[in-house]
Every structure is written in structure tokens, then in C-alpha cells.
Amino acid sequence: MYEIGHFINGKHVPGTSGRTADVYNPATGEVQAKVALASDAELQAAVDAAKAAQPKWAATNPQRRARVFMKFVDLLNQNMDELAVMVSREHGKTVEDSKGDVIRGLEVCEFVIGIPHLSKSEFTEGAGPGIDMYSIRQPVGIGAGITPFNFPGMIPMWMFAPAIACGNAFILKPSERDPSLPIRLAELMIEAGLPAGILNVVNGDKAAVDGIVSHPDIGAVSFVGSTPIARYVYGAATANGKRAQCFGGAKNHMIIMPDADLDQAVNALMGAGYGSAGERCMAVSVAVPVGEETANRLIEKLTPKIESLRIGPYTDEKADMGPVVTKEAQARIRSLIDKGLEEGAKLVVDGRDFKLQGYENGYFVGGCLFDNVTPDMEIYKTEIFGPVLSVVRAKNYEEALDLPMKHEYGNGVAIYTRDGDAARDFASRINIGMVGVNVPIPVPLAYHSFGGWKASAFGDLNQHGTDSIKFWTRTKTVTSRWPSGIKDGAEFVMPTMK
């Protein structure tokens, strides 16, 4: 049993609120740690540290700020195995998958090494007689990030790397389900040369989140998690005058056209539907084969693969997927499957009763496959966030396109086809933020930006890419004229650039 406190002003700080949450090993169901849940006083200590350290950090030239990230990337690579195990132990996913979690975050740290270039701005010489005009991007001051359980490495880094590179101090409130890695990342940032107080980790629950969204000294809030909480955090943060970007849930469709390479599509569905036990915001949870023949062939090829998924604890190096994160998540997934059956969908592969010898108390759910799902069913409308793939049969391309178009969520979508014209039409018309053409999980790389549409995102700037530099800085525009231009005396009409 270990205890996880906070990381404030460059130091580990034990919790003092008297409130804690249990951190489970999802493979065994055992409580392995207690994580502190912050009080207002602990959040305030982090804000005080951030406030004291930020001006000097902002005044540090961008090349020096970049060098901290160069060293940090090095440290991540050196410690990769340890970091991945740390994720798997609390999240439950396989160690190789956890490495992907850390690496996708590391890539954003590599991207922000370009901060000297990324933060350059605009200058117009001679905008008027003797007048120069320029815009500068200045840090917001103190930024905060509230992150979900499913990527405890990647999403914190997507937030704190650009925020800190831009000269901000940062307060991270990680998920209480798997809080160890975020603390370790903060330690490594200090080892990489970051001054104390610039990256603080405050563990907590709703109380800490409410403290963040209402704190007068926090200027920007980034949130990733489920849609109801994203909507709530966006509303509260913006009502308090903060800028906010809040990313929510998803229901990602994959359209399989009759001309698609079916083996490729099936492999893509296996990885995107069941990898990480379906607990990814970019997981594919709806397959839409076009035409009866495509649908029948798809089900035929998918079924044996789902039945032979290797499910195990993270210590099983050969496992394809692990358990889901909590007992509640397991119960919720099972009850949604029951609901699907009640509503008339056909459960082709039933993983509800999956049990693993020696891990009977683990939160395992076997791979499930539903056929004949229709848009009015709960299993179609709701994000299940488990290893459950629903097949919705479409008669033709327009009917297939209509499904993700009309769905509440708009995070990711994919089309499998050999027809460039269909793919081009699809990418152009679809109302979803991230589109894959023969790519199942179209998560953009660090130098592009990540974000959904519709109920999958609230706010107007995406994560990473150049959007993140805009989000974590404010624009100031300076119009300057030097004394020789003033000698003409006062002007009483509205100045224009003539």
C-alpha cells in the first residue's frame, strides 16, 4: 500500500485534508494506494507557488525554456519502462499500450522545443507614417489542466508542455484513478531543469475542480474527460472569465465501403475497438458496413478474432487488452450490454461473463460484438467506453454518412474504401473533428491539433499544434510611433491609417 500526495513548489507534499480516494489494481480488484484529495488550502498553496515562480519563468528566454523540454524528453526515454509500468499498474492497460500513452505525450514535448519559433509573432513596419505595429504573445499567467483516467501520461503532457513552454506556471489536477505518473512527470521536469513552482500537481476530485474553475488567479483551464463534466467545467470556467477548452466523450464510427480491403478493415476494428479495452476517446465503437454482403463478411471475419482476444493483467506480455478501470465501469458496461439485448440488438459475441483464473476479482469484460444495432438504441447513443463494438448496417453510402452526421458526438470517424472520390466526399462533408481515410484512429500528430466537434468539445482552440500556443498565450498588439512623429502636435480626429 502506498500513499500519493501532491507535488507543490518542486516538492512532494502529503495530503492534509483528511480526504482520500482508493487507487485500485484493476486486474485484481485490490486497493493498492490512497490518493490525497485536495482542500482549498492545498490548491491555494499551489497557486501561491505558481504565482511566485511565473514572472521569472516568463522572462526566461524561449531557447532556455526549450532546453528544459530537450532534457525532459531525454529523461522520458531513459525511464520509459518504469513510466509505462506505473501507468499499467493503476490503469490496467498493457505495458506496450502504456508506452504509447507516454510517447504520444513525449511527442508534444518535442513539438514545444520549437517554442522560440512557435512564439514569434507579427510585425508591420510603416503601418502609418512613422508608425510600426506589432503583436506579441504573452503567457496567460497560471494555467490549469484537469485530466481523465484513460491517458494519465499523454493528456497531462498535451496540456502542461505547451503551457509551460509559453512561459506559464501550471496546476495539474489528474484523475484520481491513476495519479502516480503525473507526479513522476513533475519530478522529471524538475530534474530537467524546470524551476520549482512552475509545474504543480494537486490531486483531488470535484472539490479541487471547483476550486480551479473559480480561482481568480487562474487564467486558463484545459479539461479532458466525459461530456457532462466537460460542459460543466466549460460553463463554470468561462462564467468566471477564464478561457477554457474542454474536450468530452465520443462515439466514433468506421464506415466500411463494399470496395474496402476487408482484412485491413477487420484488423483496424480489432485494434481500434478493443485496444485498451475500448477505453479511448478515439476508440471505434460503431462499425457501419455498407451493403448486406459487406456486413455479413465483416461479422464472419470479426467474430473469431473477438472470441480469441487475449485478455489479461498488464503483467501478461502477450495480452491484447486488460481489464476496465473500476468495478463501477465494469458494472455499467455489463448493464449497457443487457440493455442492448433488451432493445433487440443481436449479441454475436458475449463477453459479459469473462473470467480469468487467478484474477476473479479483476474488472475484466470480454470482447463483445453487437449486430443489427439501430440509431434509437441506448447502446448506439451512449459512449460505452468498454470493449463493445456495435454494427449498424447501412444500405448505401448516403445512409452510412448520415449516421455519424446525426450523432451527438463528433470526435473521430473513419472510412475504409479504395475509392478516392468517396473518401474525398466523406472528408469534406462530415461534421466531425478528426477524420481517418483507411486509418482507424486518426489522432493527429503533435504538430497538428487534436479536437472534436459537437458534444465532443467545448471551446474554440484545439489541443497541441499551433492552436495550443494560441490557447496558452494572450495577444497584445502594440502601435508605436517615436518622438519625431509627435512633433506635428495633437490630432483630434479618429486616427486612421489613411
Active site residues: 281
Q: Does 381 bind ligand NAD (CB under 6 A)?
A: no
54, 94, 98, 150: residue in contact with ligand NAD (rule CB under 6 A): 150
Query: Nearer to ligand NAD by C-beta: 249 or 465?
Result: 249
Quick one: which segment of 23-31, 81-89, 201-209, 470-478 binds ligand NAD (CB under 6 A)? 201-209
Interface with ligand NAD, residue 274, by CB under 6 A: no
Please, are residues 38 and 211 in contact by the beta-carbon 8 Å criterion? yes
Which of 477, 490, 492 has the alpha carbon at shortest distance from 127?
477
Cβ proximity to ligand NAD: between 247 and 380 the closer is 247
Closest CA to 251 of 206, 219, 286: 286
Selected binder of ligand NAD within 250, 311, 348, 455 (CB under 6 A): 250
Question: Please, which residue, 10 or 386, has the CB nearer to ligand NAD?
Answer: 386
| CB of 230 or CB of 269, closer to ligand NAD | 230
Considering the rule CB under 6 A, would residue 249 count as an interface residue with ligand NAD?
Answer: yes
Cβ proximity of 270 and 311 under 8 Å: no
Binding of ligand NAD by 409 (CB under 6 A): no
Which one among 7, 247, 274, 416 touches ligand NAD, defined by CB under 6 A? 247
Q: Which amino acid is at 139?
A: P
Contact pattern for ligand NAD over residues 44 through 63, marking x by CB under 6 A? --------------------
Instruction: Compute CA distances 339 → 189, 332, 380, whole Å.
Output: 46, 10, 11
Q: Is 205 in the site for ligand NAD (CB under 6 A)?
A: yes
CA dihedral 250, 232, 335, 20 (to 10 degrees): 120
Contacts (CB under 6 A) with ligand NAD, residues 456-485: 456
**Identity of the residue, 9 or 411, whose beta carbon is nearer to ligand NAD in the bound complex:** 411
- The least distance separating ligand NAD from the CB of residue 352, rounded to whole angstroms, comes to 21
How are strands ordered across the β-sheet holding 457-458? 11-13, 6-8, 199-201, 169-173, 142-146, 220-224, 243-247, 457-458
DSSP 3-state of 312: coil
Q: Which residues pair with 35 in a beta bridge?
A: 4, 21
Phi-psi region of 322 (alpha: psi -120 to 50; beta: other; left: phi over 0): beta
CA distances from 328 to 325, 337, 361, 362 (A): 8, 14, 13, 12
Total residues binding ligand NAD (CB under 6 A):
26
Part of the chain binding ligand NAD (CB under 6 A), chosen from 64-72, 76-84, 193-201, 219-227: 219-227
* Site of grid cell 495550443: 468
Q: Which spans of this chain sit near ligand NAD (rule: CB under 6 A)?
A: 146-151, 173, 175-176, 205-206, 209, 224-226, 229, 247-250, 281, 383, 385, 411, 452, 456
